[in-house]
């Protein structure tokens, strides 16, 4: 093999092989938009940069190549607290996953590395800081690494959100390997400038750049100007109208998170808190309670959410202004990952603008940052905030504004809805916060974690799965959800790891009676059929 040549691309693997693996492990017959292009590039030995909105299935882009290429695929991720759940989710699909991070004792880390050398795993998750550890480098030099996937790749760029200096060490780590693996960078949010930065700083070689559309048709976007007291009252009314929906409420400070969570609990709403001022164990317990459906509302700062795979989040409410439109759309995008209708609300006030400027003016920088770099970063952050304020105050279609911000043509929205915009956001509908509580009534359709549906008027953006259901359908759906929770508890995994809500709804619609019929339901792979098929068929046929 020529010096510097990527180790993939020499095995004759095709996209047909990838589709078979997708069906076997995940139970899907076809790839989502963008996945096939990225996977095909990786299998041919080419680097890739994939920009896909939250919920578009970025992880499949490296999980499928990992099982086909052999060896050990490394996934660089900042999400230490989620690595355990990610590995359990892989195991449930029949993929051999592992992780190496500070939650393991030195002895446990030695065992994991020894097993990896012995060929026990397909995938290993590591934090970026791990790559600077010479002991880890020595370990990786003993295994075949065909692919390095860099998750949340925007963290390498000082122009993006969540800048993490350790990401800058990835190229140096790659250069120490006996053979250069394919490098695939993945992110949910990246402007053109950040994409260029990611490609350059990670030293991607002739990468395919796959930028998916940022439109999430299943998300209803709304922006309302409300004082802090008004938005608390609005939120209590909203949660009372949707008593079984699961969702996330973002607040801008730790104090506001604690106060809001306590207010919700006093109102009888199961709510957990999450912010950087809490002990690690407290944060982990809150996160686990939320993803395992033990509480239905997570109240958090922006410290929560990156990498959360909970698919049935039906709403995200921001009580306050995020610092950028990238940050906001990433947070809002945590709703509706299952493709079903979901609602995203920005509740803001003029005081929030002053708070944001205070955060920017008092930002801390690494000691080595020059004054010139500080000035440039401050200027960029003020520019990002300006775009966020423009969205909040917008008198034109919110969906179109988001798409244009990310460099996407929004002209098709008007043709689709027969209006000047999407026809479904708060601006296009001409609705205020008060009009929402008065005029919107839930409909009995599949769309939430309970008996009520996503409220609001989607107009021309209605989804095919949003159809009326019978009482019998609803009862079966709830029985399947209860069975899923029971199995998840027994396996100590979040319920969505067993099956997503979308897969349960497909079971209700199709009513499979045999293992073969169940296998044809989207989201049911061979491993899950073997593990769960009999009990789900029994419940359906009951």
Determine the Cα–Cα distance for residues 83 and 100; give it in Å rounded to an integer.
9
Integer CA distances (angstroms), 420 to 13, 222, 413, 501, in order? 46, 17, 8, 34
Q: Output phi, psi for 450, to 5 deg.
A: -150, -150
Per residue of the chain (542 residues), give pLDDT as tens. 444 455 555 568 899 999 999 999 998 889 988 999 999 999 999 999 999 877 668 899 999 999 999 999 999 998 777 788 889 889 988 999 999 988 889 999 999 999 999 999 999 999 999 999 999 999 999 999 999 999 989 888 876 666 788 889 999 999 999 999 999 999 887 778 888 999 999 999 999 999 887 888 889 999 999 999 999 999 999 999 998 799 999 999 999 999 999 999 999 999 999 998 999 889 989 988 998 899 999 999 988 877 677 888 999 999 999 999 988 998 998 998 888 889 999 999 999 999 999 989 888 877 777 888 888 888 888 999 999 999 999 999 999 999 998 888 888 776 655 667 888 899 998 877 776 685 444 444 444 433 333 333 333 343 334 456 788 888 999 999 999 999 999 988 888 889 988 899 899 999 999 999 999 998 999 989 999 999 999 999 98
Query: Is the same domain home to 168 and 68?
Result: yes
* Lookup: tokens for 354: 């002053």
CATH code at position 152: 3.40.50.300
CATH code at position 525: 1.10.150.80
Residue 401 is assigned to a structural domain of this protein? yes
- Domain termination site, one of 192, 211, 230: 211
* Alpha helix segments (H runs only) across 333-397: 350-361, 371-392
Query: Is the same domain home to 71 and 181?
Result: yes
DSSP state of 499: -
Determine the Cα–Cα distance for residues 455 and 436; give it in Å rounded to an integer.
9
Determine the Cα–Cα distance for residues 525 and 501; give it in Å rounded to an integer.
15
Query: Is the same domain home to 198 and 237?
Result: no
Query: Is the same domain home to 154 and 90?
Result: yes
Range of the domain at 155: 15-211
Provide the whole-model pTM. 0.77
Query: Is the same domain home to 335 and 396?
Result: yes
- Domain termination site, one of 211, 236, 258: 211
- Domain termination site, one of 191, 211, 231: 211
């Amino acid at each position: 093999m020529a010096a510097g040549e990527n180790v993939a691309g020499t095995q004759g693997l095709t996209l047909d092989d990838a589709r078979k693996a997708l069906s076997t492990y995940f139970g899907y017959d076809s790839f989502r938009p963008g996945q096939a292009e990225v996977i095909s590039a990786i299998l041919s030995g080419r680097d890739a940069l994939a920009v896909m909105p939250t919920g578009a299935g970025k992880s499949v882009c490296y999980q499928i190549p990992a099982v086909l290429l052999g060896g050990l695929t490394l996934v660089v991720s900042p999400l230490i607290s989620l690595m355990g759940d990610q590995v359990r989710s892989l195991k449930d699909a029949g993929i051999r996953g592992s992780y190496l991070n500070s939650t393991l004792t030195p002895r446990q880390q030695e065992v994991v590395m020894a097993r990896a050398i012995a060929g026990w795993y397909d995938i290993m998750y590591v934090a970026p800081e791990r790559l600077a550890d010479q002991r880890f480098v020595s370990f990786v030099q003993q295994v075949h690494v065909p692919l390095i996937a860099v998750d949340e790749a925007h963290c390498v760029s000082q122009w993006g959100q969540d800048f993490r200096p350790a990401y800058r060490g990835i190229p140096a780590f790659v250069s120490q390997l006996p053979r250069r693996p394919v490098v695939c960078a993945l992110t949910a949010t990246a402007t053109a400038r950040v994409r260029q930065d990611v490609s350059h700083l990670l030293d991607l070689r002739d990468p395919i750049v796959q930028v998916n559309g940022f439109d999430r048709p299943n998300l209803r976007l709304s922006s309302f100007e409300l004082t802090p007291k008004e938005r608390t009252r609005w939120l209590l009314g909203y949660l009372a109208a949707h008593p079984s929906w699961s969702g996330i409420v973002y607040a801008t400070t730790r104090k506001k998170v604690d106060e809001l969570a306590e207010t919700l609990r006093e109102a009888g709403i199961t709510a957990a808190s999450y912010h950087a001022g809490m002990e690690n164990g407290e944060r982990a317990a809150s996160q686990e309670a939320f993803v395992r459906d033990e509480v239905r509302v997570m109240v958090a700062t922006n410290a929560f959410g990156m990498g959360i795979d909970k698919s049935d989040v039906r709403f995200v409410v921001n009580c306050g202004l995020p610092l950028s439109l990238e940050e906001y759309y990433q947070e809002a995008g945590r709703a509706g990952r299952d493709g079903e209708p979901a609602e995203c609300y920005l509740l803001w006030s003029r005081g929030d603008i002053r708070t944001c400027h205070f955060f920017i003016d008092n930002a801390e920088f690494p000691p080595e940052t020059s004054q010139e770099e500080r000035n440039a970063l401050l200027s960029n952050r003020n520019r990002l905030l300006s775009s966020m304020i423009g969205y909040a105050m917008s008198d034109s279609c919110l969906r179109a504004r988001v798409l244009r911000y990310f460099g996407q043509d929004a002209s098709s929205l008007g043709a689709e809805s027969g209006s000047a915009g999407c026809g479904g956001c708060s601006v296009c509908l001409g609705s205020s916060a008060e009009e929402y509580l008065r005029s919107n009534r839930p409909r009995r359709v599949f769309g939430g974690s309970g008996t009520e549906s996503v409220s609001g008027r989607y107009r021309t953006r209605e989804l095919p799965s949003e159809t009326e259901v019978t009482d019998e359908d609803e009862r079966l759906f709830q029985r399947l959800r209860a069975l899923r929770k029971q199995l998840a508890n027994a396996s100590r995994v979040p319920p969505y790891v067993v099956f997503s809500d979308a897969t349960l709804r497909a079971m209700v619609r199709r009513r499979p009676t045999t293992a073969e019929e169940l296998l044809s339901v989207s989201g049911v792979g061979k491993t899950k059929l073997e593990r769960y098929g009999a009990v789900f068929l029994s419940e359906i046929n009951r």
